Structure 1
């Protein structure tokens, strides 16, 4: 009997060992497909094993990823869920992807719970901090919704269609619809055919005619997508697999990545197809977008220095067609997740898709403001009209008509990705036009060529312009905000005017009359007042001379050069905010910084004295703990150039 039991145990053990070996063999087969980015085939193999009860953390990770990378979030949520049942001590990416997948499947409460755990465990990940800083992000998204009229673009197929560019009454886009010959092959990542570029005629309302395959050398037997044409129509930038002149490039893992290519129009044909010089076989570059002046190319990449899975970059285009050095757009826009599909307007806005900023799930479309120094701020989700729980991306808009297109795999479409057209009926920001005419204060003569600069009420430069032949200037400004407008003209005294914009859309007129620079000064006078210089502006808590400060100091420099016996005492003052000691030290550094700038520009040191007085010489009531407006505090933050000898 004992021998019989022992034999039975041996047979059972052998059976399970063989079964386990068989399952592991299938998992190994799935791993090979996964490592080759053949996610559709990997899913089939893994699920056969998983559905028979086989459990393995690494398999669940790869199975969840295979669904996630194809934006099939139901499947991703299911298998990430199985992973978390086995073990929650996993890499941060799985927390984030699980939360994204849960949001996409309609379970925001559980998604937020996972995000809370994510932020608690991985405090250095910017996505967790963004979530924490925008804990009421759903309320913000709701507030940004209800601003669009959206329709099917009329060019979709049952395959993937995405990524639009409008040029001369035609719309160009990528599609996987070409299945018509034996040489067409499916992409193992998605299970669909490779994409090519297509076009269709469109009218002013965005209505399209018959779709045609773009007949040019741009299309190959691999992926092509996201073309962007220059305004003259002679140059196109586009995305393609690493493939040119019949040769396919691969990275160190023998994977063919994507690159940005450029082609030029020669005698009606697209010729000189070449990859851009900052491409590499070892990382991807994709989805080019041109700045309105066509001097800068924006794109997505995972090149070295990338913060997340893909970041947004920009690079200058030189006049001879060469390129500068790629520049990462920074951590205000790029996260540890994926940022991609940039689009830049002439209103200094950058639209992009991201799964790293707080959204509804998958990729959402966001917009950020490009500041004069090239940084990105004020990033906002476009709302629940454009965005969904799926992937929403490749947004483009005509800033004048407010019509445009975006791509999405949201429910209700014809294919895996579809193109939608839209009309924006209400701006995300309430924008007004601030305009006016610069004139001579004495006789009303218009002053074309005057330099006009727009500052925030904190004296941060927002925009600048030169008055046109009619003396007119114009800036887009935000409703309800306060601004300072500075007008400058040679032989005239610079003038600065403060204005608060109404809280409704429309126009605000601000004419500015300049007086001839004929002021006379004597010992004891403030030379700065002669030029309308209220203060020399510094960055917050800094003492280095800013660009706009240097512009004002040039005026002081010119007077000193014209009057070689003039001597000045330079006095810097602060408001009462911050401590007495701190204000005294900061103002003294600023006074010395102003003196050093003049010395570096040729003025002898014995003609200049100076000191910082901190908050000891306030010109109004605004002492410590006295309630004051920002304008009242600014009266105390001043620079004085007192003439002590002539």
Structure 2
């Protein structure tokens, strides 16, 4: 392919490479029901913060709460204090903190947090370069071994490349000697200008009976890379800027253009016309069509291109007119060459590039075409489709799994050769995430629950709501990919969980349990259950309230302040170590110390009772003489706050 036939017009476009690789507030959550109190934990956390009781977990919950509500000023406040307390956080925190800071125009600090996010997630520019150099060969290896390649059997000693399906034939371009009386030889290579040829296509993918194709389509200059409409009656193809006469740019160079032709009733091609977005001052080439024929993808170096040649798309209306070409963007296009697009019946885009990491020269890459047009996952299709040389012009019939590609790899017959292949394993393995959303305490299914699917950088991908049975699902997802599920329902806490899809084709079940924001506690219920207060720690043989215990007690204090008629019984317990008498006295002192702390904060003493139970109410097997771990003993050293009256 290094010596592919090139018309002089292509010099600036593809340098020394070939023609064929060209172009390249929340409402108050407390509700009173008969003998129940509903406690809004988030509101309690905020009141605790104002009173000076803080913990990293509480700050993170507050920050996330306001972030989800899009109150970025308050989110930044709590994230900032969390960062000051503990700068080492998970990657998602830095992303949300950065976004919150941007919301209050603290751009410099926001950029600092984004750098930390990139460092944690591996997506900053330096990390990206490192990961490309480190991991791209592993991706190629993972995607390799999926093709059985053979010489297509129609190659000549010249350049043969750029195939297209039509009816029971394959149309390709070639610089072979046709034996015509008048022969035009390209002085750069000593080869003839390329024309279009056809070959019969057998069920096993073999080709035979090569014939010149569409005499009127072939000119005395280059033609290549045709694509046909579903009915085979319209063809789009690449040609040098030549119709009735040669066209030139300002530098007197003949560039490339895409042309269209129609098949008449006699089977002859007619009405050859250039497409309206062509220009004498830039190049367009290598058209391909979407499965429905409503979108054309092509290559160009038109103004606005990111590299030497970029991939574009343009809409085709029912009357045959064209829209405005749109660049496929930075995920696809690089500063190098992207060229030879092909779209499969499964809406997969294949193309060649020397800008994405590969094995050498042009490599073939693929991506699923997203509905929103924002490409995310570009994959090198692996060996043996790719080689250290130029590999390009990939096409495939997704029903038969058979197709063709072109390459100038070693062992060929000419400068470029066409290879047939059989795909033995698909590249894109679709995954699904599904499950049921229920109430964490009652197991009741929760219909009409909003679930948002996010990517690993917390960009929104899709959104759905659960059906009458609490069921949800997200389809057409990537395998072995990290996603986040954010679940939201009024009167329930927002829950966000990570999910990694499987490596093989299949479905990933993720059932979600939601906790009510306002937790019901009946008379006889334990306030500690709402806030998961299992332990109020005391120093050895001490009963004074430590600062860390004060944070949990402050939660109980807030509840008592919300409900001035509520009365509680404070019950303290010990583990089985030490004597019964000692443990009973120690737990009693600790219970009364807890009561005294609450009284010191303004709670009337007649609302409180307190008693220590020592080791008489163990929650597990760890009685005297039973060997237990420290963690098991800790479960017995607990405090309870039982509602006795509302």
Instruction: Report the TM-score, using the length of structure 2 for normalisation.
Output: 0.52
* Partner deviation per Cα, 1:208-253 (whole Å, 9 max, x = no partner): 2221111431111111111111111111111111111x21111121
Once the two structures are TM-superposed, the CA of residue 311 in structure 1 deviates from its matched residue by: 1.1
Sort the Cα spacing of 1:183 and 1:638 in 2 relative to 1 into closer, same or farther, 3 A.
farther
For 2:517 and 2:259, locate their aligned partners in 1 and report how far apart those are by CA, in whole Å. 53
Q: Give ranges in structure 1 of 5+ residues lacking alignment.
A: 1-33, 40-61, 73-123, 432-454, 460-483, 485-495, 499-527, 553-585, 592-609, 619-629, 641-646
1:187 aligns with 2:186: yes
Match of 1:42 in 2: none
Sort the Cα spacing of 1:217 and 1:637 in 2 relative to 1 into closer, same or farther, 3 A.
farther
Q: Are the aligned partners of 2:307 and 2:335 in contact in 1 as well (CA < 8 Å)?
A: yes
* Partner deviation per Cα, 1:341-361 (whole Å, 9 max, x = no partner): 111112221111111111111
Match of 2:134 in 1: 135
Match of 2:209 in 1: 210
1:536 aligns with 2:450: yes
Q: Which has the larger radius of gyration?
A: 2
Once the two structures are TM-superposed, the CA of residue 178 in structure 1 deviates from its matched residue by: 3.5
Match of 1:150 in 2: 149
Q: Are the aligned partners of 1:284 and 1:302 in contact in 2 as well (CA < 8 Å)?
A: yes
Sort the Cα spacing of 1:172 and 1:549 in 2 relative to 1 into closer, same or farther, 3 A.
same
Once the two structures are TM-superposed, the CA of residue 638 in structure 1 deviates from its matched residue by: 9.7
Match of 2:295 in 1: 296
Report the 3-state secondary structure (helix = DSSP H, G, I; strand = E; otherwise coil) of the residue aligned with 1:217: helix
Q: How does 1:219-234 map to 2 (within 5 A)?
A: 219-234=218-233
Sort the Cα spacing of 1:67 and 1:344 in 2 relative to 1 into closer, same or farther, 3 A.
closer
Once the two structures are TM-superposed, the CA of residue 281 in structure 1 deviates from its matched residue by: 1.0
Sort the Cα spacing of 1:631 and 1:175 in 2 relative to 1 into closer, same or farther, 3 A.
closer
Q: Are the aligned partners of 1:126 and 1:335 in contact in 2 as well (CA < 8 Å)?
A: no
Sort the Cα spacing of 1:402 and 1:303 in 2 relative to 1 into closer, same or farther, 3 A.
same
For 1:133 and 1:545, locate their aligned partners in 2 and report how far apart those are by CA, in whole Å. 25
* Partner deviation per Cα, 1:598-617 (whole Å, 9 max, x = no partner): xxxxxxxxxxxx8996679x
Report the 3-state secondary structure (helix = DSSP H, G, I; strand = E; otherwise coil) of the residue aligned with 2:208: coil
1:347 aligns with 2:346: yes
Match of 1:508 in 2: none
Say how many residue pairs are matched: 378
Q: Are the aligned partners of 1:200 and 1:209 in contact in 2 as well (CA < 8 Å)?
A: yes
Match of 2:631 in 1: none
For 1:270 and 1:231, locate their aligned partners in 2 and report how far apart those are by CA, in whole Å. 16
Match of 2:40 in 1: none
For 2:319 and 2:515, locate their aligned partners in 1 and report how far apart those are by CA, in whole Å. 46
Once the two structures are TM-superposed, the CA of residue 158 in structure 1 deviates from its matched residue by: 0.7
For 1:366 and 1:549, locate their aligned partners in 2 and report how far apart those are by CA, in whole Å. 35
Report the 3-state secondary structure (helix = DSSP H, G, I; strand = E; otherwise coil) of the residue aligned with 2:350: strand
Instruction: Report the TM-score, using the length of structure 1 for normalisation.
Output: 0.52
Once the two structures are TM-superposed, the CA of residue 639 in structure 1 deviates from its matched residue by: 11
Match of 1:287 in 2: 286
* Partner deviation per Cα, 1:516-571 (whole Å, 9 max, x = no partner): xxxxxxxxxxxx97xx644334575999997757999xxxxxxxxxxxxxxxxxxx
Q: How does 1:24-423 map to 2 (within 5 A)?
A: 67=16, 129=128, 132-178=131-177, 180-181=179-180, 183-188=182-187, 190-244=189-243, 246-268=244-266, 269-423=268-422
For 2:291 and 2:208, locate their aligned partners in 1 and report how far apart those are by CA, in whole Å. 27
Once the two structures are TM-superposed, the CA of residue 329 in structure 1 deviates from its matched residue by: 1.2
* Partner deviation per Cα, 1:411-445 (whole Å, 9 max, x = no partner): 111110100101112223456xxxxxxxxxxxxxx
Q: Are the aligned partners of 1:308 and 1:337 in contact in 2 as well (CA < 8 Å)?
A: yes
For 2:429 and 2:265, locate their aligned partners in 1 and report how far apart those are by CA, in whole Å. 46
Sort the Cα spacing of 1:611 and 1:399 in 2 relative to 1 into closer, same or farther, 3 A.
same
Report the 3-state secondary structure (helix = DSSP H, G, I; strand = E; otherwise coil) of the residue aligned with 2:139: helix
For 2:312 and 2:492, locate their aligned partners in 1 and report how far apart those are by CA, in whole Å. 42
Q: Are the aligned partners of 2:214 and 2:269 in contact in 1 as well (CA < 8 Å)?
A: no
Sort the Cα spacing of 1:147 and 1:243 in 2 relative to 1 into closer, same or farther, 3 A.
same
Sort the Cα spacing of 1:185 and 1:426 in 2 relative to 1 into closer, same or farther, 3 A.
same
Q: Are the aligned partners of 1:171 and 1:201 in contact in 2 as well (CA < 8 Å)?
A: yes
Once the two structures are TM-superposed, the CA of residue 319 in structure 1 deviates from its matched residue by: 0.8
For 2:224 and 2:20, locate their aligned partners in 1 and report how far apart those are by CA, in whole Å. 18
Sort the Cα spacing of 1:125 and 1:215 in 2 relative to 1 into closer, same or farther, 3 A.
farther
Q: Are the aligned partners of 1:127 and 1:336 in contact in 2 as well (CA < 8 Å)?
A: no
For 1:359 and 1:430, locate their aligned partners in 2 and report how far apart those are by CA, in whole Å. 21
* Partner deviation per Cα, 1:113-144 (whole Å, 9 max, x = no partner): xxxxxxxxxxx998994564352322322232
**Relative contact order, higher structure (CA 8 A, sep 6+):** 2
For 1:544 and 1:138, locate their aligned partners in 2 and report how far apart those are by CA, in whole Å. 30
For 2:279 and 2:414, locate their aligned partners in 1 and report how far apart those are by CA, in whole Å. 32
Q: Are the aligned partners of 1:314 and 1:327 in contact in 2 as well (CA < 8 Å)?
A: yes
Q: Are the aligned partners of 2:288 and 2:343 in contact in 1 as well (CA < 8 Å)?
A: yes
For 1:331 and 1:288, locate their aligned partners in 2 and report how far apart those are by CA, in whole Å. 20
Q: How does 1:506-585 map to 2 (within 5 A)?
A: 533-537=447-451, 540=454, 548=464
